[in-house]
Amino acid sequence: MNFIAELKRRRVIRVALGYLALAWLLVEVSATTFPMLRLPDWSPTLVLVLLMIGFPVALGLAWVYQTTPEGVRRDRGTELAPAETDHHAPALPAMTDTSPSDRSIAVLPFLNMSEDPSNEYFSDGLSEELLNLLAKIPELHVAARTSSFSFKGEKIDIPTVVAKLNVANVLEGSVRKAGNRVRITTQLIRAANGYHLWSETYDRTLEDIFAVQDEIAGSVVSALKVSLLGEVPKARVSDPEAYSFYLQGVHFLRSQGLDNLAKARLAFQRALDLDPEQAPAWAALSETLIAQVFIGAVKRAEGMPLAFEAGDRARALDERLPEAHIIRARLNMSFKFDWATGEEALERARQLAPGSAVVVLTLGNLAKIRGRFDEATRWLRQAISLDPLNTQGHVWLSLVLIAQRRLDEAREMVEKGLDLNPKRPVLHQLLGRILLLQGDAAGAHEEMLKEPEGFWKDYGLTLSLYALGRREEADAAFRKLQDEFSEEGPFQIAEIHAFRGEIDAAFESLDLAYEGGDAGLTELLTSQTLPALYDDPRWPVFVKKVGLSWPVA
Residue 551: cis peptide before it, omega within 30 degrees of 0: yes
Question: Cα 227 to the chain's mean position, in Å?
Answer: 23
The predicted pLDDT at position 292 comes to 87
Contact 448, 429 (CB under 8 A): yes
Q: Is the pLDDT of residue 228 over 70?
A: no
Q: Place 79 in a pLDDT band, splitting at 50, 70 and 90.
A: very low
Instruction: Tell me the pLDDT band of 81, cut-offs 50, 70 and 90.
Output: very low
- Residues 470 and 462: their CA atoms lie apart, in Å, by 10
Mean pLDDT, rounded, of the chain: 85
Phi, psi dihedral angles at 530 (to 5 degrees)? -105, -5
Show the CA angle centred on residue 483, arms to residues 480 and 484, nearest 5°. Answer: 85
Largest Cα separation within the chain, whole Å, is 112
- Answer yes or no: is pLDDT of 500 > 90: yes
pLDDT-above-70 percentage for the chain: 90
Strand, coil or helix: what is 547? Answer: coil
DSSP annotation of 496: H
The Cα-based distances of 343 to 287, 327, 349 in angstroms read 18, 12, 10
pLDDT tens, position by position, 342-379:
999 999 999 888 878 899 999 999 999 999 999 999 99
- Pairwise CA distance, residues 450 & 142, whole Å: 35
For the segment 29-35, the average pLDDT, to the nearest whole number, is: 79
pLDDT of amino acid 75: 47
Lowest mean pLDDT among 60-69, 177-186, 340-349, 356-365: 60-69
Residues 6+ apart with CB under 8 A from 86: 375
C-alpha span between 547 and 342 (Å, rounded): 12
CB-CB neighbours of 516 under 10 Å: 17
pLDDT of amino acid 85: 36
**What average pLDDT does this structure show over 21-50?**
80
Statement: residue 95 has pLDDT above 80:
no
Q: What is the mean pLDDT of residues 66-85?
A: 39
| pLDDT, position 88 | 45
pLDDT of 11: 66
More confident residue, 541 or 235: 541
Residue 67 has pLDDT above 70, yes or no: no
Residue 135 pLDDT: 82
Residue-level pLDDT at 516: 86
User: For the CA atoms of 326, 330, 336, 339, what is the dihedral angle to 10 degrees?
Assistant: 70
The pLDDT assigned to 287 comes to 94
- Distance CA(219)–CA(373), nearest Å, equals 41
Provide the whole-model pTM: 0.72
What is the CA angle 294-299-300, rounded to 5?
65
Closest C-alpha to 199, from 208, 190, 207: 190
Average pLDDT over residues 155-169: 82
Least trusted range by pLDDT, from 17-31, 396-410, 469-483: 17-31
Contacts of 457 (CB under 8 A, 6+ apart): 429, 448, 449, 451
Query: CATH assignment of 104-235, given 2.40.50.140, 3.30.70.20, 3.40.50.10070, 3.40.640.10?
Result: 3.40.50.10070
3-class secondary structure for 393-452? HHHHHHHHHHHCCCHHHHHHHHHHHHHHCCCCCCHHHHHHHHHHHCCCHHHHHHHHHHCC
What was the pLDDT predicted at 190?
A: 86
